[in-house]
Chains A and B, each alone.
Chain A
Amino acid sequence: MEQENLENSQIKQAGAAIPRRSIWSGSITIGLVNVPVKLYSMIYDKGVTFHFLHKTDGQPLKYVKMCTKDDKIVPWNEVVRGYEVAKDEFVTFDKKELDAVKPESDRRIRINKFVDYFSVDPIYFDRTYALMPDKSKDAYGLLLTALEKKNKAGAGRITLRTKEYPALLHTYKGALVLTTLRYAYDVVDPSGFEELGKLKEPEKAELDMAVKIVNELSGEFDITEFEDTYMRKVEAMISQKRKGEKIQVEKLPEVEAKGLMAALRETIKQLEQPK
């Protein structure tokens, strides 16, 4: 769904296109204060999306679930979810059982405390959403200005779709944004790697040299210095191919459908007539 909001080219501008539709609405709750907001996607993952088509006739392909025993296509109503408890041993769930325990979105971003934004390691950052004022702009503006002034971020939680996330409410380029966070159990602590054991203490001369290099190459971070060269090449190929042969996906054309409907009505009438 997010893909359809994208413009054809994302690399010509520094930022991605503004999405047209919000994906969630609710309010930021801080104690007794509510700030109504709409939530928009801010992050796009895929550069270029390809569809799989059938080489011989150009039609889109779909995935089917096939039984590994007899290679027959299995309809959805015969699918259950299996959790592998031991090799080749499963306990099964149907969708209803799992849905029953999923949290429901209560349409709130609950903020419990305010923290220093930089105290949250970006390792935990999952996905960032733009928050826009819904109905009243006053409360939104007030909260935004307060956070900017104190350089703080609100820590709390949000339920999106059916999953609850830890979240960080912060400011970005004059807007309130919400970054969902990963749970601690989702992140590896790298100090546990054996390879880190017994790192040699560097010699002073070596260290001085290394620090000198770091100093010389220091500068401001600028995301626009980075370019997705693969995507750029693919885009060049796309625009080249656009001029050549294109595969047209066949859809029901309205005109033909209208002709068919008229013919159908006429024939049905004729067939209903007593002989």
Chain B
Amino acid sequence: MDELKNLTKVNLKNLDKTLYPDIKATKGQVIEHYIKMAPKILPVIVDRPLVLTRYPDGVDKAKVSFYEKNAPEGTPKWVKTKTIYSTASKRDVAYIICNDLDTLIWLANLAALEIHMPFSTAKNLDRPDLLFFDIDPEPPATLSDAAEVALLLKDMVSEIGLTPFIKTSGKKGLHIIIPIVPEHTFEKTRAFVHSLGIELAKKNNLVVSEFKDTKKPGKVFADYLQNSPMRTMVIPYSLRSTPNATVSTPLEWSEVKKGINPSDYTISSVVQRRVNPWKDIFEKKCKLEI
């Protein structure tokens, strides 16, 4: 155990506590997942104020989970935070910034199974460097339907010179992000994403682009609303609170096709993926002309 202490500053606790009872996955396995994924995660979340969903007693529905923005009591001094005034709750919130392996391990040790990130960085909170499309199928529509819509969207944005990246949400949908030069307001990026959604809806009758239509059965909602300050998506390779510990997994576009199944991407399978589809994502920032 002494040797473990030499490798990380984090005082790891309760490693054999079961967090995913259905598959008997322990907190030790959760921490191992985040350690192994760290080289792929850290470059994406660097300098972003994070929001956590913690499951100290596991993902069992009967157990407590909580959504946490403020750095919890007992946050070590070496963990970076960014204080942002929340107009909604009228107080300062100290968000956690995770730029290193130890902080990521510390988050996992808190049983922060789900980690969420905003679409802008702490340095430039009001100027998003990511466009975000949440492709959310309403049953009986499935991930296959979401994949069809995602491919359509990919063709559309590629045509105007943007480079989209895709991941599974880890639940039923797909997330598409497009890195951009951070110069526009969220108001503008939100309007832009919305307009693309409207275009999509015209091309494919599966798609709905308006919030009021989200619950129409069998439709796929191209959600643009998250393109707002401190609204978030789960980070790439974040675990989800599903019974089988699915992972929000970055995909190569060639993997996006019919028959794609969210439960193929779990805590036990994702670690074996050799590909890193989101590699160098911020070197592909496009200047968005709106």
Query: Which of A126-134, A152-160, A165-173, A267-275 is found at the contact surface with chain B?
Result: A267-275
A260 touches B28 (CB 8 A): yes
Query: Which of A63-71, A91-99, A213-221, A249-257 is found at the contact surface with chain B?
Result: A249-257
What separation, in Å, do the CA atoms of A13 and B11 have in the docked complex?
43
| Given A266-B36, A267-B39, CB of A250 within 8 Å of CB of B101 | no
A236 proximal to B (CB < 8 A): no
What separation, in Å, do the CA atoms of A266 and B35 have in the docked complex?
9
| Given A257-B1, A268-B101, A271-B101, CB of A263 within 8 Å of CB of B32 | yes
B26 proximal to A (CB < 8 A): yes
A259 proximal to B (CB < 8 A): yes
Nearest CB of chain A from residue B44's CB, rounded to whole Å: 14
Nearest CB of chain A from residue B8's CB, rounded to whole Å: 6
What separation, in Å, do the CA atoms of A265 and B38 have in the docked complex?
12
Q: How large is the interface on A (under 10, 10 to 19, 20 to 34, 35 or more residues)?
A: 10 to 19
A260 touches B14 (CB 8 A): no
B101 touches A252 (CB 8 A): no
A264 proximal to B (CB < 8 A): yes
B38 touches A271 (CB 8 A): yes
A260 touches B4 (CB 8 A): yes
B42 proximal to A (CB < 8 A): yes
A261 proximal to B (CB < 8 A): yes
Chain B residue at minimal CB-CB distance from A251? B16
A57 proximal to B (CB < 8 A): yes
B16 touches A267 (CB 8 A): no
What separation, in Å, do the CA atoms of A253 and B4 have in the docked complex?
12
Contacts of B57 in A (CB 8 A): 57
Chain A residue at minimal CB-CB distance from B56? A57
| Given A265-B7, A271-B42, CB of A260 within 8 Å of CB of B16 | no
Main secondary structure of the interface of B (DSSP, over half): helix
| Given A259-B32, A260-B31, A263-B36, CB of A252 within 8 Å of CB of B8 | no
| Given A271-B42, A271-B101, CB of A264 within 8 Å of CB of B15 | no
Q: How large is the interface on B (under 10, 10 to 19, 20 to 34, 35 or more residues)?
A: 20 to 34
B46 proximal to A (CB < 8 A): no
A253 touches B8 (CB 8 A): no
Contacts of A263 in B (CB 8 A): 32, 35-36
Chain A residue at minimal CB-CB distance from B42? A271
What separation, in Å, do the CA atoms of A265 and B12 have in the docked complex?
16
Nearest CB of chain A from residue B237's CB, rounded to whole Å: 13
B3 proximal to A (CB < 8 A): yes
B17 proximal to A (CB < 8 A): yes
Nearest CB of chain B from residue A29's CB, rounded to whole Å: 43
Contacts of A257 in B (CB 8 A): 1, 4, 12, 15, 28
A256 touches B36 (CB 8 A): no
B39 touches A253 (CB 8 A): no
**Which residue, A251, A257, A263, has most C-beta atoms of chain B within 10 A?**
A263
Could you give, for residues 143-183 of chain B, a 1 whenever the CB lies within 8 Å of some chain A CB and a 0 otherwise? 00000000000000000000000000000000000000000
What separation, in Å, do the CA atoms of A250 and B26 have in the docked complex?
11
What separation, in Å, do the CA atoms of A2 and B38 have in the docked complex?
46
What separation, in Å, do the CA atoms of A261 and B5 have in the docked complex?
9
Which of the residues A250, A265, A266, A268 comes within 8 Å of B16, measured between beta carbons? A250
| Given A256-B28, A259-B32, A260-B4, CB of A267 within 8 Å of CB of B101 | yes
A261 touches B32 (CB 8 A): no
Contacts of A251 in B (CB 8 A): 16
| Given A252-B15, A253-B28, A256-B15, CB of A261 within 8 Å of CB of B101 | no
Nearest CB of chain A from residue B159's CB, rounded to whole Å: 31
Could you give, for residues 6-35 of chain B, a 1 whenever the CB lies within 8 Å of some chain A CB and a 0 otherwise? 011000111111000000001011011001
Chain A residue at minimal CB-CB distance from B36? A263
Nearest CB of chain B from residue A12's CB, rounded to whole Å: 34
Chain A residue at minimal CB-CB distance from B14? A250
Contacts of A252 in B (CB 8 A): 1, 4, 12-13, 15-16
What separation, in Å, do the CA atoms of A57 and B28 have in the docked complex?
17
Chain B residue at minimal CB-CB distance from A262? B32
A267 touches B36 (CB 8 A): yes
A264 touches B16 (CB 8 A): no
Contacts of B12 in A (CB 8 A): 252, 257, 260
Contacts of A266 in B (CB 8 A): 36
Nearest CB of chain A from residue B17's CB, rounded to whole Å: 5
Nearest CB of chain A from residue B238's CB, rounded to whole Å: 17
Chain A residue at minimal CB-CB distance from B7? A264
What separation, in Å, do the CA atoms of A268 and B15 have in the docked complex?
20
Contacts of B38 in A (CB 8 A): 267, 271
Nearest CB of chain B from residue A4's CB, rounded to whole Å: 21
Which of the residues B1, B13, B17, B28 comes within 8 Å of A259, measured between beta carbons? B28
- Using a CB–CB cutoff of 8 Å, the interface residues on chain B facing chain A are 1, 3-4, 7-8, 12-17, 26, 28-29, 31-32, 35-36, 38-39, 42, 57, 101
